[in-house]
Structure 1
Amino acid sequence: MRLALGLEYLGRGFSGWQSQPAGCTIQDTLEFALGQIAGETIRVVAAGRTDAGVNASMQVVHFDTQAERPLTAWVRGVNRFLPEEIAVLWAREVDDAFHARFCATARRYRYMLLNRGVRPALLRGGVGWCHNPLNVHGMQMAANILIGEHDFSAFRAAECQAKSPIKHLYQLDIRRQGALIQLDLRANAFLHHMVRNIVGCLIQVGAGRRSSTWLEDVLASRDRKLAAPTFSPDGLYLSGVDYENVWGLGDLTISDAREVGCDDKGRV
């Protein structure tokens, strides 16, 4: 039996998503908790591998198991064995052909940026911070340059293992609410550090250090050295994963959905 789960987590204090020999990753922690419910070793596959310190308001994973449990066991039961920083939001049985990574048609990221003179305390780790006043309109003009299919080599980390730097960025919307600036990005896939490198460049524009057309030169150069430094992982969230309707996951894979697992009769 193959199951899909939706997760949220705070990346602070973890060494990223992917399992490592030293442990302390989201994957290792989740697999241990699932094993307590399944009574067997569980290996999970994620839609996207987040870096150390990066959060998720909607990560999607799948795993195979021989254990037959009610869907609530894969939600509330598993959550009993997870630290407070990680929570399973929903569980669904899916077709054996479903693959959390390879069946995804797009990924969504959100960056929450606190733009005020004083560093965050209550939101520490949950938002990035820039003390310089930022011009959101100029940032959006620059962001529009990146929409479409491009070679994003200038925004790619040196250790990126992606086979191709060509990605299609469908959305990059920026809006301000008080001192918080929200950046929403959606693409077929993202390169390693791509979002954080884009955010760093947009902050340079918003602070008036660069013109709104500067990103044209950066993008065309395909040279990482010409772009801004990689910005903080604080404030970065994997916020959703898009799948075709055939998999029956509906709106569950977008972070605004907050449903728990239920059985075939709709009972929780």
Structure 2
Amino acid sequence: MSDEVEAGLVRVRMDLSYDGTAFSGWAKQAGGRRTVQGEVEDALRTVTRSGERTYELTVAGRTDAGVHARGQVAHVDLPAQVWEAHREKLLKRLAGRLPRDVRVWALREAPAGFDARFAAVWRRYVYRVTDHPGGADPLLRHHVLWHDWPLDVAAMDAAAKPLIGEHDFAAYAKRREGATTIREILDFGVRRTAGGIVEIEVRADAFCHNQVRSMVGALLFVGDGHRGVEWPRKVLDARVRDSAVHVVRPHGLTLEEVGYPADELLAARSLAARNRRTLPGA
């Protein structure tokens, strides 16, 4: 597959954020469900006066229903004449057309070889939890999970560290036909903020479906004393789903940031990311 943009089109990078509470995820779905992709594509079609034509977005990370994004990245290929006619006012026009739970912050012509999905070298997520006995702050209830047991943050952080590196995360993933479950976690840690919120932060080259929420579920079991610090790694090494690992609710999860290589490395990264991965010696 080539990352070359078709003649007459311009690839535009889009940086955006959204509150996922009222969305059925990023990707368009049958049945008229409300999605982030659907809202942005509809707004783009309207403000560019493109009639029935839809300009399809490619996104860095396809978030599930209820998951939020602060630093999502997408790209769209627009006819050169459409981009030239609207580029100066497109951002402001989208702000006037989009619903208030999704915002586009930047639009710019992408460098050669850029692909929002395949050129990304990492995605950084944060899952937020409160263990306050009174529950979650009402103003944060759509973004913070309430866990009704006290959490040992040091134990959770210690349990997260052995998951760093390249592994087969089949034990923490919802399997998809023909897809690999090998991923590389670059950073994984747990902290408590000054306001008392427990933040579980993980950065990886990519994630399997439900992987982050499953790993968070395992760490919560460690934090509240139901499992030992070594347990999440034992689950990983077993490479099979453990019924004790719960997929936590989506609303605590936010895609915070997506990283890309230098412009001259974009094309090579896009090509490499499409190769099916195996572990050394497999």
Corresponding letter in the other structure for 2:241:
R
Q: Which residue of 2 aligns with 1:93?
A: 109
- From the superposition, tell whether residues 134 and 26 of structure 1 become closer, same or farther in structure 2 (CA, over 3 Å): same
Q: Distance in 2 between the 1:162 and 1:187 partners?
A: 21
Q: 1:177-216 alignment to 2 at 5 Å?
A: 177=193, 178-216=195-233
Query: Cα distance, 1:65 vs. partner?
Result: 1.1
Query: Cα distance, 1:79 vs. partner?
Result: 1.6
Query: Cα distance, 1:90 vs. partner?
Result: 1.1
With 68-77 and 131-140 compared, the bigger mean Cα shift is at 68-77
Q: Does 1:176 align with 2:192?
A: yes
Q: Which residue of 2 aligns with 1:147?
A: 164
CA contact (8 A) 1:105 1:244 kept: yes
Corresponding letter in the other structure for 1:101:
R
Greater share of helix residues, 1 or 2?
A: 2
Name the SS of the counterpart of 1:196 in structure 2.
helix
Name the SS of the counterpart of 2:97 in structure 1.
coil
Unpaired runs of 5+ residues, structure 2, are: 1-9, 267-282
Counterpart of 1:7 (choices 12, 16, 19) is 16
Query: Cα distance, 1:39 vs. partner?
Result: 2.0
Unpaired runs of 5+ residues, structure 1, are: 250-268
Corresponding letter in the other structure for 2:107:
A
Greater gyration radius: 2
Query: Cα distance, 1:117 vs. partner?
Result: 1.3
Q: Which residue of 2 aligns with 1:164?
A: 180
Aligned length: 248
Scaled by the length of structure 1, the TM-score of the pair is: 0.88
Q: Which residue of 2 aligns with 1:79?
A: 95
What's the C-alpha RMSD, in Å, of the aligned pairs? 1.8
Q: Distance in 1 between the 2:226 and 2:90 partners?
A: 49
Scaled by the length of structure 2, the TM-score of the pair is: 0.83
Query: Cα distance, 1:22 vs. partner?
Result: 2.2
Name the SS of the counterpart of 1:125 in structure 2.
coil
Corresponding letter in the other structure for 2:58:
V
Q: Distance in 1 between the 2:145 and 2:264 partners?
A: 35
Q: Which residue of 1 aligns with 2:118?
A: 102
Q: Distance in 1 between the 2:242 and 2:225 partners?
A: 20
Name the SS of the counterpart of 2:146 in structure 1.
strand
Q: Which residue of 2 aligns with 1:27?
A: 37
With 103-112 and 134-143 compared, the bigger mean Cα shift is at 103-112
Name the SS of the counterpart of 2:250 in structure 1.
coil
Q: Which residue of 2 aligns with 1:262?
A: none
Q: Which residue of 2 aligns with 1:50?
A: 63
- From the superposition, tell whether residues 232 and 18 of structure 1 become closer, same or farther in structure 2 (CA, over 3 Å): same
Corresponding letter in the other structure for 2:183:
K
Name the SS of the counterpart of 2:251 in structure 1.
coil
Counterpart of 1:236 (choices 240, 244, 253) is 253
Aligned-residue sequence identity (percent) comes to 38
- From the superposition, tell whether residues 145 and 44 of structure 1 become closer, same or farther in structure 2 (CA, over 3 Å): same
Q: Which residue of 2 aligns with 1:220?
A: 237
